[in-house]
Structure 1
C-alpha cells in the first residue's frame, strides 16, 4: 500500500481542497510526506493515438489513461510498462478509396459489407473496446458495422470530418455513439458543406450565421440518442494558427524540452513537414471549423450532452502526446465551467467510460489555480506503480525492436 500523508486532496466531486491521508493500492509499501503538495486523479485523453515511442510522454505530462482511437494491435502490444492505461481500438474501417489509402496495418478500406464485418470480428478478437469508422465509409457499410458491433457489445465511434454523405443525424440514426472531433455536426447545420467544396462555395457558407434553432434541434436529437462528442479544439486551432500555444508556459515546459530532445519519437519532424504544406485557404477553413466546433460544444454542454476532452495527438500540427491535454483543458474555460468542473470531466467522467482506475498525480502546485501546475509533477501513480518524474524522463525505449516489429507488421498487412 502507498500511503500519502497530509496531502492537499483535490476533491473534484465536492469542489474543494482538503488536507487528508490517501491510500493507493499497491504491492509496494511506501509512505510519502504529502505536506505542501497536491494529489488529484490522473488525466484521461479521450481521443489520441499512442505508440510505443510516445507512451512515456503521456505520463510525463500527467496523462494516466488514453482512449486510443486508431492504431495497430501488434504495435500497441509493444508498449512497455512506463505508459498510461490504454483503452483502445485498432485498425479503423473506412470506405474505398480510403482517406489514408488502401487497407494497411492501420486501416481497413472497403465498400464491401462482408469485408467490413470481417474487420469488426478481427477487432473484437483483438479485444478492442470500441469500433472506429472513418469519413469515406458508405452508408450501407456503416449500418452493417453498427449492427454487428452492437451484437458484440461494442460502441461505434465515427470520424466523419471528410464525409460527403453522412451527417451527424444520419450517423446517430444508424446507431453511432461517438462523434470524434464533434465531426459531421457542421454538415447537419450547413447541408451543402464538406471539406472538399470550392473556395467560392466555402465563402458563401462561412458568411452565413448559424441558425440557433437548427443548432438546438440537431444537438437535442444527438443528446436523445446518447451521442458523445470529443471536440479536440486544440487540433483545429493549431491547424488554423500554427505553433501558437494558448498557454505560453507550454513551449517553455520540461515536457516540451523532453519532446524536442527525443531521438526516437521525432514528432516535430512530422509537424514541420505538414506545416510546410498548409496554405492560407486551409487555415481560414480550419479557423471557421474551430469556431463552429466551439459553438457546438458550448451548446451541447448547455443542453446536457456528453462531452469529453481529447487532443488527437500527435495528428495535425503541434498537438503533442500528453502535453496538449493541458492546452485542451484551457480551451474548456470558455464554456462556463470552473477548474473543478473541467478537471472532473478530464478525469472522473472520462474514467467512467474507460473504467475506474487507481491512477493519481502528486503535484508541487495547485492545479485549480492554474492548469499549468499539472506539469509540475512530483510522482505519477498508475495502478499501484509509482513513477518519479525524473524516472519517466530517463526511460529508454527499445527503438530497434520497435522498428523491427513495425517492418514485420507493414509486410503482414501488405500481403493481406
Structure 2
C-alpha cells in the first residue's frame, strides 16, 4: 500500500480562505487525514518535512489544448487537472486513461468543435465539424457522447438554429455547452446565453452585444468612437446582469492576449519547465510563425483585451463564476502549465485578491464542472497538491516557487 506523510507544512484551505500548520497523510491516491499540529503523527511511512513551506491543492487550467508531447509540463508546473476545450477525445485516449499518479494532468475533455461554414479552421476534420444543418449538429453531439466527451464546444461561425439544436441535444445527456465567440460575425454572448450555452470562453461576445454590428471583420474605422482602452463600466454591468440570469460561466484566458500585447517583452521567467518547453521544436515553430503576424494579432485579437478584463472582474463581483484558463498553446508563448501562473497574476492585477485568484484555479474551477474529488485539501479528496517555498496569499507570484508536486498520491 502506497503511503506518504507530509508534515509541518502551512496548509492553505482554499475553501475558507484560511491557512494553518498541519500534516497531510496520504494513502494510495487519496488524502486519508488532515492532521492538526498537536496530534500524534503516524510512524513508519515515507515522510516529507514541509516545515516553513506552504501547501496548496493541485492547480486546474480550465481552457487549454493538450498534446502528449507537452502533457508532463503541466504537472511540472503544479497543474494536475486540465479542461481540454476542443480537440479529439479519441486522440487523447492514451492520456485520459492514464492512472491517477501518472505524471500528466487528468483531463476533462470536449471532442471536436462544432462550427459554421466555411469553418474558421477549415472544413470538417478530426478537430472540427463544420455544418449549417441543425440535424447534423444533433447527430454530432450524440457521437461525442458515445466517445466520452465531458462537454460540447461550439465555435463562433455557428448559425443560431444549429447552436439551439446542439444545446438542446447536449441537455438530453446533461452535458454543458461552451462557445468561443472571438471571431463571431453575428452571434453575441447574450445570444448564446439565451440559447442555453453555459460557458463563454475568453469572455468573448460581450463586445458584440454591447456594440451591435461590431465584429473583428468590419471596417474598424466606423467604430473608432469606441474607447477600447477604457471600457464602459455601466454598459458592462448592464450586460453582466443579463448574463447572470442565465448562470453563465466565464473563462477569460487573459494571458493569451497579454503575451501578444507585450511581445517582444512577454512574460517568460527562467525556470526548467519553460526551458524544456522551449526545446519542443513544433511548438516553437508555431509560436515563431505567430510572431511574424504579431502586429495583426495586436491590432485585432488584442483589441477587446481591456474589455475582457473588465468583464471578468465585474461579473465576478456581481456573483458570477469566473475561472482561470490559458488557451495553451495558442498565439504566442503560452507555456504549457507554467503560463497559468501568469494568468493568476493577471487576476490579481485586475483586482482579485490572492485567495480569489487561487480559488479560480482550484476550488471554484473544480466546482464549476462538478468535480468533487479535486480542488481542495480535504480528507477523502484526490491527493493532488503543490508544496511552495513562500506564501502565495502574500504574493500570488509565489505559486511559481515550487518545491514539490504530488499527483494522485
- The 8 Å contact of residues 255 and 323 in structure 1, kept in 2 or not, is answered as yes
- The 8 Å contact of residues 52 and 75 in structure 1, kept in 2 or not, is answered as no
- The 8 Å contact of residues 243 and 318 in structure 1, kept in 2 or not, is answered as no
Q: What is the rounded CA distance, in whole Å, between the counterparts of 1:46 and 1:71 in structure 2? A: 14
With over 3 angstroms needed to count, the CA separation of the structure-2 counterparts of 1:267 and 1:212, relative to structure 1, is same
Partner of 2:333: 318
Q: What is the rounded CA distance, in whole Å, between the counterparts of 2:341 and 2:245 in structure 1? A: 31
- The 8 Å contact of residues 237 and 286 in structure 1, kept in 2 or not, is answered as no
Per the alignment, in what secondary structure is the counterpart of residue 74 of structure 1? Answer: coil
Give structure 1 stretches of 5+ with no counterpart. Answer: 385-416
- Of residues 193, 217, 223, the one that matches 2:214 is 193
Per the alignment, in what secondary structure is the counterpart of residue 212 of structure 2? Answer: coil
- Of residues 3, 6, 22, the one that matches 2:5 is 3
- The 8 Å contact of residues 231 and 306 in structure 2, kept in 1 or not, is answered as no
With over 3 angstroms needed to count, the CA separation of the structure-2 counterparts of 1:210 and 1:373, relative to structure 1, is closer
- Of residues 158, 172, 191, the one that matches 1:137 is 158
Per the alignment, in what secondary structure is the counterpart of residue 362 of structure 2? Answer: helix
Note if 1:65 corresponds to 2:94.
no
1:56 Cα deviation from its structure 2 partner: 0.3
305-314 or 23-32: which moved more?
23-32
- The 8 Å contact of residues 61 and 374 in structure 1, kept in 2 or not, is answered as no
- The 8 Å contact of residues 96 and 137 in structure 1, kept in 2 or not, is answered as yes
Partner of 2:389: 364
Partner of 1:90: 111
- The 8 Å contact of residues 363 and 379 in structure 1, kept in 2 or not, is answered as yes
373-382 or 152-161: which moved more?
373-382
So what's the TM-score if we normalise by structure 2?
A: 0.87
Per the alignment, in what secondary structure is the counterpart of residue 6 of structure 2? Answer: strand
Larger helix percent: 1
Partner of 1:307: 322
Per the alignment, in what secondary structure is the counterpart of residue 90 of structure 2? Answer: helix
- Of residues 198, 222, 225, the one that matches 2:243 is 222
1:294-315 CA-to-partner distances (Å, cap 9, x unmatched) read 1111211121111111000001
So what's the TM-score if we normalise by structure 1?
A: 0.86
Q: What is the rounded CA distance, in whole Å, between the counterparts of 1:179 and 1:50 in structure 2? A: 20
With over 3 angstroms needed to count, the CA separation of the structure-2 counterparts of 1:16 and 1:97, relative to structure 1, is same
Note if 1:273 corresponds to 2:289.
yes
Per the alignment, in what secondary structure is the counterpart of residue 220 of structure 1? Answer: helix
- Of residues 182, 186, 189, the one that matches 1:168 is 189
- The number of residues matched between the two structures is 378
Q: What is the rounded CA distance, in whole Å, between the counterparts of 2:229 and 2:123 in structure 1? A: 37
Q: What is the rounded CA distance, in whole Å, between the counterparts of 1:212 and 1:189 in structure 2? A: 11
- The 8 Å contact of residues 180 and 204 in structure 2, kept in 1 or not, is answered as yes
Per the alignment, in what secondary structure is the counterpart of residue 75 of structure 1? Answer: coil
Note if 1:380 corresponds to 2:405.
yes
Partner of 2:203: 182
Partner of 2:21: 19
